[in-house]
Amino acid sequence: MSPGVIVGIVGAVVGVLGGAVGTYFGIQNTRGPKERAFMVRCAIYGWIGVGVFVGLLCLLPHPHRWYLLVPYAIILPNAIIKSNKIQAQIRAEEAKGRRKPKRKKPGR
């Protein structure tokens, strides 16, 4: 095997492992059940989306595969921004539901 192939394989493995670790900790750092369910859905959609993108990069002929970068570069950042807003909204709603009502002090 040539050094380029070895570096490519090692890079791909490190990339997938980094994505897996990021997914794991992204789900573990949630604060409630709704937020966790949302993050699991986001992770599934993200892995499927990136998998389809990489698969199409491998399958499409040379000049056409690079056209995939245009929708990918538009869709990915917008999906991240939208999911972050939804996650913040879910987190705020769950935090509101967890607040303990103020107790009246005895004798007042």
Q: How many CB atoms lie within 10 A of CB 94?
A: 16
Question: What digits encode the pLDDT tens for the residues 10-40?
Answer: 999 999 999 999 999 999 999 999 999 999 9
* Model pLDDT for residues 58-103, shown as the tens digit of each residue: 999 988 888 999 999 999 999 999 999 999 999 999 988 776 666 6
pTM: 0.79
Q: How far, rounded to the nearest angstrom, does the alpha carbon of residue 99 sit from its chain's CA centroid?
A: 28
Cα separations in angstroms, 94 against 2, 36, 90 = 53, 11, 6
Q: How far apart are CA 98 and CA 101, in angstroms?
A: 9
